[in-house]
Amino acid sequence: MSTIDFQIMWNRLIAVVEEQATTLIRTAFSTSVREAGDLSAGLFDRQGRMIAQAVTGTPGHVNAMAESVTHFVAEIGVQDMHQGDVLITNDPWMGTGHLHDITIVSPVFRKGAHIGYFACTAHVVDIGGRGFGPDGNEVYEEGLLIPIMKFAERGEVSKDLIRLIRANVRTPDQTVGDIYSLAACNEAGDRRLQAMLDEFGIDDIDGLADFIIDTSRKATHAAIAAVPDGSFSHAMQVDGYEAPIKMVVRLDIEGDSLQADFAGTSPMSKFGVNCPEVYTRAYACYGLKCAIAPEVPNNTGSLEPFRITAPEGCILAAKRPAPVSVRHVMGHLVPDVVLGALHQALPDTVPAEGASALWNIQISTRASDPASDLPSHEVLMFNSGGTGARPRVDGLSATAFPSGVSTMSVEATEQVGPITVWRKDLRMGSGGAGARRGGLGQTIEIEPRKGYDFYFNAMFDRVQNPARGRDGGKMGGAGRVELADGTQLRAKGRQLVKNGQRLRLSLPGGGGYGDPSGRPKQDIEADLEAGLITPEQAKADYGYDG
């Protein structure tokens, strides 16, 4: 086939995997999937190389899944895969970093021959154990670990596996429903792929896979070659759990080769903020690729040129059986570290630090009266602070970067459990001052409804160490966790909010970019008019007094 034929088919594959992802969103039981898009979907060749991914989804899921399919191939073996098989795991070190992410892989057959795989991942609200939170001391406490195995064999679902899952989770219908949704998602992708192959009159995707991966690899190497050579180091301190965490990276760039090494990073925590290396690689690659090769489609070819390593046993390369439930907190901060180093090679390119790590909150509602028969509920909310300002544009407010998930609507969240969200608005003054202002965080207030208390699992960062500005920009506002009456709460760990109390979350803002004295007067006035900064801040940060 010609290059033009391959290019047309490449574009068609994006539509195939987008329909795959859309099927997952439309059939998912969990709000984290259908409302926030916390998922990934993609097509892989017979070797387990990712050749196309849905735009819908998160880079942590997508880039980690790009590695995980090869584990399925090695563990099950192609000789033991059959038409109608559906494979499953949530092993943090073989999947996407923690037990709440379930990865489903479905081998694709055409005319009896194995030609590739569809794979997808989604976050389920409950997987048993302590629940989604950082308090565990081993992965065994954090929930049910499903090794790489068959969810279905030749189209027959494993009833024993379903019974085992239902017996170990608090939301059996929801969790099992999401697994079926993941399997249906791959099946939808398979149908669309078969129709495409019929249209083009081919029976395998080997040639197309080689074309996509080789083209993307060459383009990425060329983009790296345009970056100045050298070694560039950067460090960042973040809150951690029991102690602050130091994250360190060194970028070595030579020609079209790039190596990122996290030697010097703090050792593992005894709590569940540890990050398996697969997830560290996923977000380090994402940060680097956004800055260096943003136009190159994401697949195995465009990921391979970024070589990412971390010393085994550091918090970014956690060893079994470390607790890893909230690995996203460290993982989402990784791009800030690598971009800080890359800024030295490519000034005036990357943003200032942002809130970065999602302010996820898992809420477990319980009847205030232990003798009551009111049912319990599990509620998960995804919330975002502000992003760092960019060299020429202000940061984005209440926007998830680098995760890319959507914020769940209040209306959808309140339907899941007996809570009321009384407040959800932008947090005035939380964006760091600069020639370009950092994005604002938000303020959220949540209260249990009549007859209920709730426990919440806090997994928040940027409270003690707010986002730093760049090139003279100021820090973003630090986060706060408290009751509405001002009582201070911890930024991490399980805590109780009683009936009549109201939890208040003040999400952090992004850092500013450039000296605040360089901010145009009209932009300061626009911020004042919109209520994004106070008159006191305008004077203190920008010297503006009207």
Q: Which residues contact 393 (CB under 8 A, 6 or more apart)?
A: 436
Local confidence pLDDT in tens for the 546 residues of the chain: 789 999 999 999 999 999 999 999 999 999 889 889 999 999 999 999 999 999 888 999 999 999 999 999 999 999 999 999 999 999 999 999 999 999 999 999 999 999 999 999 999 999 999 999 999 999 999 999 999 999 999 999 999 999 999 999 999 999 999 999 999 999 999 999 999 999 999 999 999 999 999 999 999 999 999 999 999 999 999 999 999 999 999 999 999 999 999 999 999 999 999 999 999 999 999 999 999 999 999 999 999 999 999 999 999 999 999 999 999 999 999 999 999 999 999 999 999 999 999 999 999 999 999 999 999 999 999 999 999 999 999 999 999 999 999 988 899 999 999 999 999 999 999 999 999 999 999 999 999 999 999 999 999 999 999 999 999 999 999 999 999 999 999 999 999 999 999 999 999 999 999 999 999 999 999 999 999 999 999 999 999 987
What is the DSSP annotation of 487-517? Answer: -B--SEEEEEE-TT--EEEEPPPPPPBS-GG
- Chain mean position to CA 86: 24
Residue 238 lies in a domain: no
Which of 217, 250, 267 corresponds to the end of one domain?
217
- In degrees and rounded to multiples of 5, residue 390 shows phi and psi of -105, 165
Model pLDDT, residue 408: 86
Which of 170, 201, 217 corresponds to the end of one domain?
217
Model pLDDT, residue 19: 96
* 103-139 residue pLDDT tens: 999 999 999 999 999 999 999 999 999 999 999 999 9
- In degrees and rounded to multiples of 5, residue 173 shows phi and psi of -65, -40
50-53 sheet: strands from edge to edge: 50-53, 39-45, 113-123, 101-110, 86-89, 149-153, 156-157
Counting beta carbons within 10 angstroms of the beta carbon of residue 109, is it exposed (0 to 12), middle (13 to 18) or buried (19 or more)? Answer: middle
Model pLDDT, residue 2: 85
Residue 310 lies in a domain: no
Residue 86 lies in a domain: yes
Please state the domain count of the chain.
2
Rounded Cα–Cα distance for residues 403 and 60 (Å): 7
Model pLDDT, residue 361: 95
Single-letter code of the amino acid located at 160: D
Model pLDDT, residue 446: 98
Residue 505 lies in a domain: yes
Residue 201's CB: how many other CB atoms inside 10 A? 7
* 407-441 residue pLDDT tens: 888 999 999 999 999 999 999 999 999 999 999 99
Model pLDDT, residue 528: 97
Which of 158, 185, 217 corresponds to the end of one domain?
217
Rounded Cα–Cα distance for residues 482 and 489 (Å): 5
Q: Measured on CA atoms in the order 84, 89, 95, 100, is the torsion positive or negative?
A: positive
Model pLDDT, residue 79: 95
Residue 272 lies in a domain: no
Residue 54 lies in domain: 3-217
